[in-house]
Structure 1
Amino acid sequence: MRSSNHLVGFLNFATFMASVPILGGGIWLGSRADNTDCMKFLQWPLITIGVSIMVVSLAGFVGSCYRNTFLMYVYLWAMFFVISALVGFIIFAYAVTDKGSGQPVMNRVYLEYDLRDYSGWLEERVASGSYWSKISACIRDSHVCRKMGRRIVAGAPEPAETFYLRKLTPIQSGCCKPPTSCGFAYINETYWGYTGGLTGSDQDCLKWNNDQRQLCYGCDSCKAGVLASLKRSWRKVSVINVVILVILVLLYVVGCMAFRHNKRLDNDEPIGESRMEKARPTRMPF
């Protein structure tokens, strides 16, 4: 029985360690929300799941060390619900980031982003006026466009041909410059000249403004860039979550088996002792 308790204790310690990447993923999403993605509520479900796994695994560890059957029973049920919540979060994350991707443009390395390529709950959330006013203000205050910098190439400002070869992030492409279809003339990374007539029919062409406080923060391409950035972030975290989920399920199954084994031993111990007592030879009174 002692070896079985040691096994359960080790499994709980492994579960505790498995919660660290989940919690780390939530914190990473939070840092992305502060600096780039600006969707600050999305990381909390993952952080909550990570903290819950830590607390539950500690309860199971204490229960295994002190052979507390009640704590072990609570641990198994709580871990079942936590694993179910993690499964639900992974499915949700893939569902809301399923559609949409950047579109290649001729003679450009960076991609263009169109809000019409996205749909569903997350798109509606980002595009809604109340949320977008906060998101756009967050992007502006993060100075993501200013960080594109004004590169100096051979002692002169970066030419258009060099800029077109840059790998811009989705937010840089969607928010910091006008759509390529508008036909604006490149002057620098965030300043574009009007060429006497717009070649594109996109409404974003009318929303673009060279004012560094406005740029394309009101454009649909900016909203699409945020969605594309969120998709990248969530997909990276979801890969880690899937791996951790498989590990948690395996640990949970082994934990259930160890718990049943401990319970069976507890039930068999009195019977075993009485059998041994019966098997002992009776001492004669003389």
Structure 2
Amino acid sequence: MAFRISNNLVGILNFITFLLSISILGGRIWLSQRASPDCEKFLEKPIIALGVFLMIVSLAGLIGACCRVSRLLLVYLFGMYVLIVLLFSFTIFGFVVTNKGAGQVASVRYYKDYRLGDYSNWLQKRVSSQKNWNRIKSCLQDGKVCRTLSEETNVAARQFFRKHLSPIQSGCCKPPDECGFQYNSATVWDNNGNTTSANPDCATWKSAPTALCFDCQSCKAGVLANLKNDWKKVAVLNIILLIFLFIVYSIGCCAFRNNREDNAYHRWKGRA
């Protein structure tokens, strides 16, 4: 009996997925040779696990569809089901933990200030962990996120206050505006000793290029604000991917049914 359309589609789609898994694993190896270990090490295990999982599932689907091996197709369908459930759960979880939190606009400022307490407790705990924050801070310092601002030494205070700073630049490269420090340059502020703010970041701030506000609560909040902005983009991709996986899963179910019918037909024909 000739192959049916669903079997061919499953084979083609899983061949593409197999190539994608190779690209993911290859990209991880390439990054490990170029990236800073502190910045990228926490991404290594999830990326490798995703690449291996996609490779195994796609191979099972490819062989099961093209060779009409029902057991492999069953393994493939189970793997796809797990992937859909995990991706759906991750998407919902991401919406829940990033729902809270927004920057606060100060008077006569174009940029926003960020407060750690505005974000979900789960995110606060993750970013406040000393082990996690040391890695994040190392990444920020290695990435020279404040370098552009530090080079702008001739910018007047009025011009600086009209800048649209990123959440990380606002939280990590300058002290919170409520501290009332005197502006000298984008990354040099003088503590006049008259601040009455209870914000602990006012005491944490240092004008040293390697210190700045990298240990401030506002810096952690800026990282979370940046994460929230990135999540909005990831969420759209996740929804598109979920729709695609559901379609592929449905086609795989048809291919599995075809294999069972073909195998039953061959058994009946052999008895006849």
TM bucket (normalised to shorter chain) is 0.7 to 0.9
Q: Which deviates further from its counterpart, 82-91 or 11-20?
A: 11-20
1:76-115 aligned within 5 A? 76-115=77-116
Q: What does 1:118-197 align with in structure 2 at a 5 Å threshold?
A: 118-151=119-152, 157-197=154-194
Question: For structure 1, which segment, 230-239 or 68-77, has the greater mean C-alpha deviation from structure 2 after superposition?
Answer: 230-239
Q: 1:211 to 1:149 in 2, by over 3 A?
A: closer
How far apart are residue 221 of structure 1 and its match? 0.6
Flag the structure with higher helix content.
2
Task: Give SS of 1:258's match.
Answer: helix
Shift of 1:50: 4.9
Specify whether residues 121 and 43 from structure 1 end up closer, same or farther in structure 2 by C-alpha distance, changes over 3 A only.
farther
Q: Relative to 1, partners in 2 of residues 1:263 and 1:44: Cα closer, same or farther, differing over 3 Å?
A: same
Equivalent-residue separation in structure 2 for 1:150 and 1:176 (angstroms): 12
How far residue 174 of structure 1 moved from its aligned partner, in angstroms, is 0.5
SS at match of 2:113: coil
TM-score by length of 2: 0.83
Matches of 1:20 and 1:201, distance apart in 2: 53
Q: Which moved more, 1:63-72 or 1:2-11?
A: 2-11
Q: Structure 1 pair 20/110, CA: closer, same or farther in 2 (3 Å)?
A: farther
TM-score of the aligned structures, taking structure 1 as reference length = 0.79
Question: Quick one: distance in 2 between partners of 1:80 and 1:194?
Answer: 58
| Count of residue pairs brought into register by the alignment | 264
Q: Structure 1 stretch 60-69 or stretch 134-143: which is displaced more?
A: 134-143
Once the two structures are TM-superposed, the CA of residue 60 in structure 1 deviates from its matched residue by: 0.9
Question: Does residue 262 of structure 1 match 2:256?
Answer: no
Cα distance in 2 between the residues matched to 1:174 and 1:123: 15
Q: 1:252 to 1:15 in 2, by over 3 A?
A: farther
Structure with larger Rg: 1
Q: Compute the displacement of 1:38 (Å).
A: 5.4
Could you list the runs of 5+ residues in structure 1 that have no partner in the other structure?
276-286
CA RMSD of aligned residues (A): 3.1
CA distance in 1, matches of 2:175, 2:8: 62
* Deviation of the 1:219 alpha carbon: 1.2
Return structure 1 stretches of 4+ with deviation > 6 angstroms: 17-21
2:210 match: 213
Change (3 A) 1:40 1:110: farther
233, 236, 243: which one pairs with 1:236?
Answer: 233
Alignment partner of 1:87: what SS? helix
SS in 2 for 1:231: helix
Aligned to 1:2, the other structure's residue is in SS state coil
1:284 maps to none
* Structure 2 residue ranges without an equivalent (≥5): none
